């Protein structure tokens, strides 16, 4: 570079030596036309400081400033005294590049002047399109509405950022836009707008999704928001869960898809079998093809099953609160539903702390309410609690009315549903004298032993009726008929067995007895004392036999009456007078005729026989007897008289010579009259 000393630069006039040096230097660095000059440092002063290149030819002329060394430096205001210092490069009259002290500006005049930087392999490594206001990197920008365009290979990062040795970038290809971490694609956005993440996504705020999130490579599996206030999960093109404003639906398409909820210890705590339309709790196995099934190990606490299906009532404590199950179905052809029946369990009383419970089964009649059909509690089981015209029926294997209660007729049938004849009717197959068992009473110790009632129905009076049959016992199924009631008779011991018949009275166990073995009938006692077909044992205060006519005396209505009996009179003294009391009456006389037979009761006596007969007639009122007439008198009978309503019979000799003082008289009597019982033979005494 040639150095020239100037006065302005020196600040004082030049010396001759300085002038000579300037000429020497200029002469050595002189430029000749046609040559390419080479300069050392060129210093331009501050008076019109410029280097200009002029081209007056018609051909393109290249103007160059070359440096023979590695560096070319253009400097302005090296002394840093001008705040507005700059270096500008002009093309024609347009400033193309301005190098300011604090900045370098290309096309500061905002003209249509592009800026382009080439790289080794790209002519457009950096392009600024001034007219389109676009920047291109590795391409000429030409995309509508874009400001920065980057060109490069497909599916690789086109630009990167780096921090701490880790890079991240963005690229594009035919498949869409991609974001990279290092060289690995982490997010791909296809031309359709679908975004694919290569890993999990975490958002620090709200993630907005207009409709669906789809499984990559599995277009029929997705979830999202099909409409406002809705959420839906779809797998295999089947709707699994659809949450709407009014409902949440699982398996909305009605596919063979199961629903399962696990608990801590059960893999099928809730299980909906989509293919078989079942709901199961506690197991996937359905034992009896139940629509709803609960499977659990049952335990009992205070008799209450645990881990079973429960239905609870949240109503406040009161009588009648408790769980219930209602059963409904379609009752109209248009699919309208109504309730048919229910099961209800409730608190029996309103007393706090009392948990007495009642179970009620209800059913509904057309046009009416549900009413009680069966009610169960701790003290009873009641069918038809409301007392309606409702029948109760139990079937057996071959009989539809094995037990039948006719609610309208207040009747019970066994084996039959037609029960209008009586309160209890039992069906029997017996007919025409062939008696069939209708009712049986089985012995608890042996099922073979049973007492039965058999029946038969016939137009024949002797073949239509009942039989009462008694078990033969001893484990045998044999039975003995003890009584038969047919239309024309009642018979006991119909099979002629050694089977006695006995009727008790209030005081006597054998008031009437038929001794089958002795072929005799006894009245008033059991002993077979006399060999006779009829034996009457006279009870105290009564005669043995009485008779009464059905005919009566006109006006008085008095029938004929007769009493007959026997009495024994003991004595410990004379034994000569028998006193018989007569009942007093008001003002109406009674008439009698009485026959007596007397025989000695002196034990083991062998003297002449003491016996006799007496037949008398008399009347009685409240004294007497009156009008006493002796009609017949024989043997040991001496006389007869009356005294203070007593009949006195005197014997010729007393009945007093029996062995061991066993002494007295026995008497047979018959009394005919309107009131024969007034003669109290049973109260007689022997003196």
Give tens-digit pLDDT for 503-529: 998 888 888 999 888 899 988 888 777
Q: Averaged over 18-35, what is the pLDDT?
A: 69
Give tens-digit pLDDT for 385-428: 888 889 999 999 999 999 999 988 888 988 888 887 788 888 88
* 602 CB neighbour count, 10 Å cutoff: 22
What dihedral angle (degrees, nearest 10) is formed by the CA atoms of 673, 675, 678, 684?
40
pLDDT computed for residue 539 by the predictor: 75
pLDDT computed for residue 57 by the predictor: 56
- Which pair of structure tokens corresponds to residue 679? 């003669």
The residue assigned the tokens 């003669």 is 679
Beta carbons within 8 Å of 79's beta carbon, 6+ residues apart: none
**Letter string b/e over residues 188-202, b meaning 16 or more CB atoms within 10 A of that residue's CB:** beeeeeeebeeeeee
pLDDT computed for residue 343 by the predictor: 94
The residue assigned the tokens 């029997």 is 428
Give tens-digit pLDDT for 656-686: 887 777 899 999 999 999 999 999 999 999 9
| Residue 93 confidence (pLDDT) above 80 | no
> What residue ranges do the domains of the chain occupy?
114-150, 358-388, 542-686
**Letter string b/e over residues 313-352, b meaning 16 or more CB atoms within 10 A of that residue's CB:** eeeeeeeeebeeeeeeeeeeeeeeeeeeebebebbbeeee
* 580 CB neighbour count, 10 Å cutoff: 22
- Which pair of structure tokens corresponds to residue 106? 């290309």
How many Cα atoms are found within 13 Å in the side-chain-facing hemisphere of 351?
A: 7
pLDDT confidence band for 73 (50 / 70 / 90): low
pLDDT computed for residue 579 by the predictor: 97
| Residue 303 confidence (pLDDT) above 90 | no
pLDDT confidence band for 246 (50 / 70 / 90): confident
pTM across the whole model = 0.48
Q: Averaged over 221-230, what is the pLDDT?
A: 89
Residue closest to 215 by CA, chosen among 234, 241, 243, 188: 234
Q: Averaged over 216-231, what is the pLDDT?
A: 88
The DSSP bridge pattern shows strands 304-306 and 159-163 to be unpaired
* 160 CB neighbour count, 10 Å cutoff: 13
Residue closest to 499 by CA, chosen among 488, 486, 483, 511: 483
pLDDT computed for residue 484 by the predictor: 92
pLDDT confidence band for 22 (50 / 70 / 90): confident
Please tell me the distance from the alpha carbon of residue 592 to that of residue 679, in angstroms, as a whole number. Answer: 9
Query: How many residues are listed for the chain in this entry?
Result: 687
Q: Averaged over 318-339, what is the pLDDT?
A: 92
Beta-ladder partners of 370: 364
Can you state the percent helix, strand and coil of the chain, rounding each to 5? 5, 45, 55
Beta-ladder partners of 667: 567, 598
Give tens-digit pLDDT for 114-173: 889 999 988 888 989 888 899 989 889 888 888 898 887 788 887 788 888 889 888 887
The mean predicted confidence, pLDDT, of the chain is 86
Pair 258, 273: CB distance under 8 Å: yes
Residue closest to 38 by CA, chosen among 2, 74, 75, 70: 2
Q: Is 360 exposed, middle or buried (0-12, 13-18, 19+ CB in 10 A)?
A: buried
| Residue 51 confidence (pLDDT) above 80 | no
- Which pair of structure tokens corresponds to residue 421? 């004849």
Pair 360, 329: CB distance under 8 Å: no
Quickly list DSSP for 305-340.
Answer: EESS------SPS-TT---EEEEEEE-STT--EEEE
């Amino acid at each position: 570079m040639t150095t020239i000393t100037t006065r302005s630069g020196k600040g004082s006039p030049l010396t001759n030596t300085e002038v000579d040096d300037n000429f020497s230097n200029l002469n050595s660095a002189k430029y000749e036309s046609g040559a390419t000059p080479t300069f050392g440092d060129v210093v331009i002063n501050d008076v019109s400081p410029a280097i200009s290149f002029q081209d007056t030819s018609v051909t393109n002329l290249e103007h160059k400033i070359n440096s023979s060394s590695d560096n070319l430096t253009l400097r302005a205001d090296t002394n840093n005294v001008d705040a507005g210092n700059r270096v500008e490069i002009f093309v024609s009259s347009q400033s193309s590049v301005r190098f300011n002290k604090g900045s370098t500006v290309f096309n500061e005049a905002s003209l249509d002047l592009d800026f382009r930087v080439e790289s080794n392999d790209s002519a457009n490594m950096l392009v600024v399109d001034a007219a389109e206001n676009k920047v291109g990197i590795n391409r000429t920008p030409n995309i509508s509405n874009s400001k920065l365009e980057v060109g490069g290979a497909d599916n690789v990062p086109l630009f990167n950022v780096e921090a701490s040795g880790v890079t991240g970038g963005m690229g594009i290809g035919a498949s869409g836009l991609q974001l990279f971490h290092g060289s690995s694609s982490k997010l791909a956005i296809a031309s359709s707008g679908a975004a694919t993440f290569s890993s999990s996504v975490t958002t620090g705020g709200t993630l907005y999704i207009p409709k669906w999130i789809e499984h990559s490579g599995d277009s029929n599996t997705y979830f999202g928001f099909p409409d406002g206030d809705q959420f839906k999960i779809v797998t295999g093109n089947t709707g699994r869960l659809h949450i709407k404003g009014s409902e949440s639906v699982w398996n909305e398409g009605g596919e063979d898809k199961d629903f399962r909820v696990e608990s801590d210890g059960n893999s099928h705590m809730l299980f909906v079998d989509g293919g078989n339309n079942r709901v199961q709790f506690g197991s996937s196995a359905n034992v009896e093809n139940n629509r709803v099934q609960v499977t659990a190990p049952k335990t009992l606490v205070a008799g209450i099953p645990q881990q079973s299906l429960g239905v609870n009532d949240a109503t406040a404590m009161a009588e009648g609160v408790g769980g219930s199950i209602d059963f409904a179905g379609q009752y109209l052809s248009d699919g309208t539903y109504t309730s048919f029946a229910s099961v209800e369990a409730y608190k029996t009383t309103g007393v706090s702390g009392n948990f007495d419970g009642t179970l009620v089964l209800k059913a509904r009649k057309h046009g009416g309410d549900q009413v009680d059909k069966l009610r169960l509690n701790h003290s009873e089981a009641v069918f038809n609690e409301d007392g309606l015209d409702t029948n109760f029926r139990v079937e057996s294997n071959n009989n539809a009315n094995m037990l039948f209660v006719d609610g309208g007729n207040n009747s019970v049938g066994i084996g039959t549903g037609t029960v209008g004849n009586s309160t209890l009717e039992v069906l029997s197959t017996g007919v025409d004298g062939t008696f069939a068992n209708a009712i049986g009473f089985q012995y608890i110790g042996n099922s073979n032993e049973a007492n039965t009632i058999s029946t038969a129905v016939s137009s024949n009076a002797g073949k239509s009726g009942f039989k009462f049959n008694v078990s033969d016992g001893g484990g045998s199924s044999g039975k003995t008929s003890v009584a038969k009631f047919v239309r024309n008779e009642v018979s006991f011991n119909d099979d002629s067995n050694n089977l006695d018949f006995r009727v008790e009275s209030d005081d006597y166990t054998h008031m009437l007895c038929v001794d089958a073995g002795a072929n005799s009938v006894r009245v008033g006692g059991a002993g077979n004392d006399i060999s006779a077909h009829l034996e009457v044992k006279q009870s105290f205060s009564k005669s043995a036999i009485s008779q009464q006519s059905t005919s009566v005396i006109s006006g008085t209505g008095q029938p004929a009456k007769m009493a007959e009996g026997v009495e024994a009179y003991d004595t410990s003294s004379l034994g000569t007078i028998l006193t018989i009391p007569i009942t007093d009456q008001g003002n109406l006389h009674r008439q009698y005729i009485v026959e007596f037979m007397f025989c000695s009761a002196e034990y083991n006596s062998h003297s002449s026989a003491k016996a006799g007969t007496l037949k008398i007639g008399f009347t009685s009122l409240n004294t007497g007897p009156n009008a006493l007439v002796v009609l017949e008198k024989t043997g040991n009978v001496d006389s007869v008289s009356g005294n203070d309503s007593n009949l006195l019979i005197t014997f010729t000799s007393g009945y007093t010579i029996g062995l061991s003082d066993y002494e007295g008289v026995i008497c047979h009597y018959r009394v005919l009259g309107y009131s024969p019982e007034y003669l109290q033979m049973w109260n007689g005494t022997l003196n």
